[in-house]
Amino acid sequence: MTLREHNLHVYNTLTRTREKFEPLAPPHVGMYVCGPTVYGDPHIGHAKSYVSFDVMVRYLRYLGYKVTYVQNITDVGHLTDDADQGEDKVERKAKAERVHPMQIAEQYTRSYFDAMDRLNVLRPDISPRASGHIIEQIELVKRLLAAGHAYEANGSVYFDVSSWPKYGKLSGRNVGEMQAGARVEVSAEKRSPADFAVWKRAEPGHIMQWPSPWGMGFPGWHLECSAMSMKYLGETLDIHGGGIENQFPHHDDEIAQSEAATGKPFVRYWVHNNMVTVGGQKMGKSLGNFITLKDAFEKWDPMVLRMFILQSHYRSPLDFSDEALAAAKEGWRRLRDTALALENVGYGGASSGEAYPGAVSDFITDVRHRFGEALDDDFSTSAALAALFDLVRESNRILGAGGIAPASAEALRGTFAELGGDILGLDLVFPDSDLDNGTQHQVVQILISLREEARKARDYNRSDDKRRRLEEAAIVLEDTPEGTKWRFK
């Protein structure tokens, strides 16, 4: 596969600089993103994260890279307190609902993927579950023990932070700061407050547990991502993504245990997505201020939510409000209406004349260039959208000034489909897209002609009836000086 010419630069959290993207073994790219902990329905914060990484995958594939995208499902081991304390989040939910933890995991895994499908987020190539990779995690713990980077204590195994001088290099914290800032009582089992569990002893009554050389237990949350990512992508990943809140301790711990075990760099590019806020405060399950995607879809089209997310940079916080969603809804309407107007060219929905011969091709070339420059600049979706809306304005200007030839309309339609659909993931497939020879367009045009005849005969009841019946079929008529045009609602 030939790579398209590009100048992609990515902000690497590890080096705190924008770096030219150069994968380890081009054209192959191994990309791992921390997936959801499945103990509740996904919310808008999840949407921002996974839509953002979805665009990255789409753009890399557009450039010609062969991306293997791995995104895990955390169905065990993520404790209510990330400092190795508290209950397993999935088990706690299961106790509250009086069902088995795996029932909770299945229920909310389905809920997660259903929501992502509606947002037009591509499914990962591999979605490994933590509970399905216990053997790999135990083997990784064994390697850490053998290398002197971990120690056993009363059935649990902890990573010895003092054995790894580079610990904290991602977040910029040092061990002294971590110990001074410890928020919980230090476990008597740990040699240092900064040490973290790679395997936890199962307390009596703990349901999700497995046999290990150290007794019955379950893996540490941080260990899961290291074991699963390296199983499928090798010991050095090209890209590791996740939420900015996971830099410490989760990703710092991943780096330490992975590099201590392999002696190799764990990740070439660390990419962190910022959070959704409500009134300046982080949206999240633990704070109780989240809006589930199920509830959001009752009020907004999934593509409006996707447009809302794309209007911000993935590394910037995104403040949620009804006003912001209303603006995204208007932007989505403009984009979709223009794409549909171009779809109608040649079927009576728009003029078939050519007002600006030769101009369309040049303008498309310019838009494609600016769109690519935007995404090459650390995946700047807001700037990419700005280029796409320039295409909207120019298309509408040409259509309104005298029409456009079918060949030019086809070129514009293809540009919308590729840039807006294939790369940004906005669903620009219309209900009649699978029909041949414009049959549906012709039927609508016949009804419009019958309505015009009724209006000329001053039979306004029959004219209004035609409009009403078209609206019931989700077709909106717009009377303009150039004649009646139509679009899907």
Lowest mean pLDDT among 48-62, 175-189, 361-375, 430-444: 430-444
Kindly list the strands in the beta sheet with 66-71, ordered across the sheet, starting from the edge strand earlier in the chain. Answer: 66-71, 28-33, 237-243, 267-273
Cβ atoms 427, 463 nearer than 8 A: no
SS3 string, 172-200, reads CCCHHHHHHCCCCCCCCCCCCCCCEEEEE
Q: What was the pLDDT predicted at 408?
A: 86
Per-residue model confidence as pLDDT tens digits over 213-261: 999 999 999 999 999 999 999 999 999 999 999 999 999 999 999 999 9
Strands (E), 195-260: 196-201, 217-219, 237-243
Number of residues written out for the chain: 489
Output the six-digit token pair for 281. 């405060």
Range among 84-98, 373-387, 444-458 with highest mean pLDDT value: 373-387
Between 481 and 421, the more confident residue is 421
Q: Mind listing the domains of the chain with CATH numbers?
A: 9-310 (3.40.50.620), 330-430 (1.20.120), 431-489 (no CATH)
What residues contact 420, with CB distance under 8 A and at least 6 apart?
Answer: 335, 339, 388, 426, 428
Return the ∠ at Cα 150 (arms to 158 and 101), rounded to 5°.
40
Q: Percent of the chain at pLDDT above 70?
A: 89
E strands, 309-449, are: 318-319
* Residues 433-464: b if buried by 16+ CB within 10 A, e if exposed: eeeeebebbeebbebbeebeebbeeeeeeebe
Q: Are 412 and 360 in contact (CB under 8 A)?
A: yes
Q: Please tell me whether the peptide bond between 249 and the residue prior to it is cis, using omega within 30 degrees of 0.
A: yes
The dihedral of CA 221, 226, 232, 237: what is its sign? positive
**pLDDT tier for residue 179 given thresholds of 50, 70 and 90:** low
pLDDT tops 70 at residue 478: yes
Highest mean pLDDT pick, 331-335, 375-379, 442-446:
375-379
Q: What is the residue type of 119? A: L
More confident residue, 401 or 459: 459
Determine the straight-line distance between the first and last CA of the chain, rounded to whole angstroms: 40
CB atoms within 10 A of CB 110: 11
Q: Residue 180: pLDDT band by 50, 70, 90 thresholds?
A: very low
pLDDT in tens, 255-281: 999 999 999 999 999 999 999 998 788
Q: How much of the chain is helix, strand and coil, in % rounded to 5?
A: 45, 20, 35
| Closest to 276 (Cα-Cα) out of 240, 308, 241 | 308
CA-CA distance, 61 to 122, in Å (whole number)?
A: 12
What local confidence, expressed as pLDDT, does residue 305 receive?
98
Among 353, 351, 343, 333, CA closest to 440:
343
Work out the angle at residue 448's Cα, subtended by the Cα atoms of residues 442 and 454, and round it to the nearest 5 degrees. Answer: 140
* pLDDT of the residue at 130: 95
Q: Which two tokens stand for residue 360?
A: 């369309």
List, as one string, the DSSP characters of 44-91: HHHHHHHHHHHHHHHHHHHHT-EEEEEE-BB-S--EEETTTEEEEHHH
The CA distance from 207 to 129, in Å, is: 17
Residue 439 contacts residue 447 (beta carbons within 8 Å): no
In the structure, what pLDDT confidence band is assigned to residue 343 with cuts at 50, 70 and 90?
confident
Give the integer Cα–Cα distance in Å for 195 and 483. 73
Q: CB burial class (10 A; 0-12, 13-18, 19+) of residue 70?
A: buried
